[in-house]
Chain A
Amino acid sequence: MHELSIAMGIVEAAMDEARQRNVQVSAVHLRLGALSGVVKDALLFSYEVACQDTPLEGSRLLIEEVPVMVFCPRCKEKRVLQSVQSFTCPECASPTREVLQGKELEVFALEVEE
């Protein structure tokens, strides 16, 4: 389980942004791709642990799950995969390996108080 190291990275990034703006963080908005290799529930649990004894203690982690988007070479269109177990176009069933989105692990926004 590497979610704890990831959670510590999130806390560090949020603290750094908060310091620069001289604000208090009450929530962290995270974009989490289906191909990021990170498990949402494990991350939520680790986040609480990672926040302990930091200025972020008591803050919330809000996770937006980002599905995998691929480019279908046959339809010439962007398509959202139905499952990471099947890299085929949901419309025409062509296999595709061109991933456009889904690896995100990004602190997108912070809810802050002055």
Chain B
Amino acid sequence: MSEPRLVEVRRNVLKQNDVIARSLREQFRFAGVFVVSLVSSPGSGKTTFLEKTLTQLQPRYRVAALVGDLATENDAARLARSKAPVKQITTGTLCHLEAAMVQNALQDWDLHQLDFLFIENVGNLVCPSSYDLGENLRLVLMSVTEGEDKPQKYPTIFNSADVAVITKNELSGVVEFDWDAARKSIESVRPGMKIFRLSAKTGEGMPEYLDFLSRQLAEQRAVVHS
């Protein structure tokens, strides 16, 4: 045996995922569907928020959702009440979604029949941050009951997201939520990030957020057609 030597290989560990994510993004663009992924910690109200989003977008848009969950199909059952097509991706023990799982789940769906597709990631603020799913917009959700400093505790996921939504605003008085502290915390890990404050339960703040999504879809289509 000869002496060990060093060979440079420069290989991205997540290359396989990134290649699939790029191909998905291209498919989404071609089909004219705007894709939003949702990340949050468990119990932040992601499923209620998504159910309301689907229900309120439906009169004007064709919407669908993919839902990642560790073991149960409870979330998909709840979302099915919105009457939108919903498919569950059960990840088993895996703590995040990967692009290949999204690709498999979409195989028998005609993306041309959709305006919006939502991908609900597994409730986890750590692992999903490393995996590109081909989404157009990554939305990070936190609730007022989680505390204002959540962004500082999970800077990587907040930094990887495009938009922050703070939910359960109807409880902000009870928990004495400090809105300025939360805004500063987000601003310090992701300067300039757009923030929505709303209550999925009462509907307060939902119209501004839904209008924002409508504009994003319109902008994406304008770019594709120009």
Binding site for B on A (CB under 8 A): 1-2, 5-6, 9-10, 13-14, 17, 21, 23, 26-27, 29-30, 35-38, 84-88, 95-97, 99, 105-114
Cα of A70 to Cα of B2 in the assembled complex, Å: 42
For the complex, give the distance between the alpha carbons of A96 and B96 in Å. Answer: 28
In the complex, the answer to whether A108 meets B9 with C-beta atoms within 8 Å is yes
Q: List residues of chain B with CB within 8 A of the CB of A111.
A: 4-6
Evaluate contact between B192 and A97: CB separation under 8 angstroms: yes
The answer to whether residues A109 and B9 also contact, given A84-B189, A95-B191 and a CB cut-off of 8 A, is yes
Is B222 close to A, CB under 8 A?
no
A37 adjacent to B94 (CB under 8 Å): no
A112-B7, A113-B4 are known contacts. Are A37 and B127 too (CB-CB below 8 A)? yes
Q: How many A-B residue pairs have CB under 8 A?
A: 105
Contact partner of B7 among A36, A106, A110, CB < 8 A?
Answer: A110
Interface residues on B, range: 20 to 34
Stretch of B106-114, B149-157, B171-179, B202-210 contacting A (4+ beta carbons < 8 Å) = B149-157
Q: B94 touching A114 by the CB < 8 A rule?
A: no
Interface residues of B in 87-101 (CB under 8 A from A): 94-96
Q: Which of A5, A37, A85 contacts B157 (CB 8 A)?
A: A37
For the complex, what is the distance from the CA of A30 to the CA of B8, rounded to whole Å? 11
Give a binary string over B1-25; 1 marks a CB under 8 Å from any A CB, 0 the rest: 1111111111111101000000000
Which residues of B lie under 8 Å from residue A38 when comparing CB positions?
A: 130
Given A35-B156, A38-B130, A86-B188: A106 in contact with B11 (beta carbons within 8 A): yes
Smallest Cβ distance from B162 to chain A, in angstroms? Answer: 11
Whether A87 contacts B13 in the complex (CB less than 8 A), given A111-B5, A113-B2, comes out as: no
- CB-contact partner of B189 in A23, A26, A37, A85, under 8 A: A85
A86 to chain B: which residues have CB within 8 Å? 188-189
Residues of B within 8 A of A1 (CB): 95, 126-127
Residues of B within 8 A of A107 (CB): 9-11, 13
A65, B187: Cα distance in complex, Å: 25
